[in-house]
Amino acid sequence: MHSLSTSFVLGYHGCDATTGEKLLNNEPFKQSENDYDWLGPGIYFWEANPRRALDWAHDLGKRKARRGSGTFKPFVVGAVINLGFCLDLITSNGIQAVEQAHKGLVATALSTHFTLPVNEGGDDLLLRRLDCAVIQYLHAARKKQNEPEFDTVRGVFTEAKPLYENSGFRRKTHIQICVISPNMIKGVFRVPPQHFE
C-alpha cells in the first residue's frame, strides 16, 4: 500500500476489436465485477505485456465462440496508468494487508456462519473467488475506518507450466493491474504491431 512505484506504467487491455475501437474513441472502460476476478472488481490490464493481453483476448474469443456469442476479433488497447495509491502485492506491506484482510474475513465468516468462497480451476486457480472476496473485504474495511481508498491493485502471478524441468520460471508469468479509479487511466493508444513481436 503505497505511492512508491514509478508513477506511470503502460498497461494492455485485451478485448474484441469493436470494444477496442470504442475505447480508442474515448468511450469509458467497463469495470469487471465477476466474483472470481483475481484482484477484485475493476478494469484489468497486463503490465508491459501486450502479447499476453492478446493471448488472453484470443482465449476470450474461443470461450465466446463455444457459447455461440457471435464474432469476436481479438484486439489490444494500450493505456498509460498512474498507479496512484496502490495495493501492491509485490511489496511486503501489500501482502501483509491482504493477509490481515483474510483473517478478518475468516473471523466474520465464523461469527455469521457465512461459507467462505473457494479458489478453484486447476493448478493456476483460474477462478479466484476467495482471493476476490478477501480484496473486497479489505476495500470495505478501509472504507469503514475512513482510510484512503485504493486507486489500483497490482499483483504478480506465476501461471502455466515451467519453462524447463525444475524451473522457477513459468510460461504465463505476468503482472496484472486492476484499476479501481478510472481517472488513473491517463490515456489510451493503439498498440503498434511491432510491440507484439
Domain borders along the chain are 8-191
Q: How does residue 172 score in pLDDT terms, banded at 50, 70 and 90?
A: confident
Round to whole Å and give the CA distance between 62 and 79. 25
Q: How does residue 132 score in pLDDT terms, banded at 50, 70 and 90?
A: very high
Take residue 71 and report the three cell numbers written for it: 464474432
Task: Tell me the average pLDDT across 153-178.
Answer: 93
The DSSP 8-state label assigned to residue 193 in this structure reads G
Q: How does residue 64 score in pLDDT terms, banded at 50, 70 and 90?
A: confident
**pLDDT tens across 3-25, in order?**
666 679 999 999 999 999 999 99
Q: Which regions of the chain does DSSP assign to beta strands (E)?
A: 8-16, 43-47, 74-82, 86-88, 119-120, 127-128, 152-157, 174-179, 185-190
Does the global pTM surpass 0.85? yes
Residues in contact with 22: Cβ distance below 8 Å, sequence separation at least 6, in sequence order? none
